[in-house]
Amino acid sequence: MSPKYKLTYFNGKGIGESLRWLLAYSGEEFEDIRFTIEEWPSIKPTIPYGKLPVLDIDGKKASQSVALARYLGKQAGLGGKDLWEDLQIDIIVDTIGDFRNELKSLKLRQDKDEKVKAEKIEKFAKEIIPFYMNKLDAIVKENHGYVANGKLSWGDIYLVSMVDFVSTFIARDLLTPYSNLAALQKKITSIPKIKAWIDKRPDSEF
């Protein structure tokens, strides 16, 4: 019997969206529990480590979005064929993590001043986005259209879902100048089960 999944996260894509894509890809039904940012302070103390997302698998709670994406991805047959191939996927996923940490360090949510916020986004778009997207685009080119090992892995789904989140959050197109990444995005978002999820998911601001 398929395990019972319950995903708890904010009402947004963020770092939880990759788990929704991987569950959708696997054909797993899951309960999609969403909180608003306003509700969070009162819920935080009830969450292990006080951090979202949390995935409940048959009643056992697990946290840490990247660890969970690896788990769901490998369970769906989207891991490498050996430790070396897994390493290649993990390197890219942790590089995307560095990119996300750069965004996080801007603390955009705390900015009350819209001008300050717009300036930070402008700097991020000019310096950080090209640095990472150039490298990732070259890697996807080298790997024949995928992030690693010349074949589809959970790393591809992770990357495209993260770009989807960041694009929404900062209201910028990230990929147009990067043809290999743009082609990968099209490929992933055209996978029928992922497309079906994107079509039916609730709208969100990030």
Name the residue nearer to a copy of itself (CB basis): 93 or 121: 93
By CB under 8 A, tell whether 98 contacts a copy of itself. Answer: yes
Among 29, 31, 94, 173, binds a copy of itself (CB under 8 A): 94
By CB under 8 A, tell whether 120 contacts a copy of itself. Answer: no
Residue 168 CA to residue 50 CA, distance in Å, equals 25
Quote the least distance from Cβ 71 to a copy of itself, whole Å. 4
Residue 31 CA to residue 138 CA, distance in Å, equals 37
Name the residue nearer to a copy of itself (CB basis): 64 or 167: 64
Residues that contact a copy of itself, how many (by CB under 8 A): 25
Could you tell me if 5 and 61 are in contact, meaning their C-beta atoms sit under 8 angstroms apart? no
Residue 129 CA to residue 148 CA, distance in Å, equals 20
Name the residue nearer to a copy of itself (CB basis): 65 or 185: 65
- In order of 28, 79, 133, 191, the CA distances from 163 in angstroms are 23, 21, 10, 17
Torsion angle (degrees, nearest 10) of CA 36, 76, 89, 202: -20
- Contacts with a copy of itself by CB under 8 A lie at 49, 51, 62-64, 66-68, 70-71, 74-75, 83-84, 86-87, 90-91, 93-95, 98, 101, 105, 135
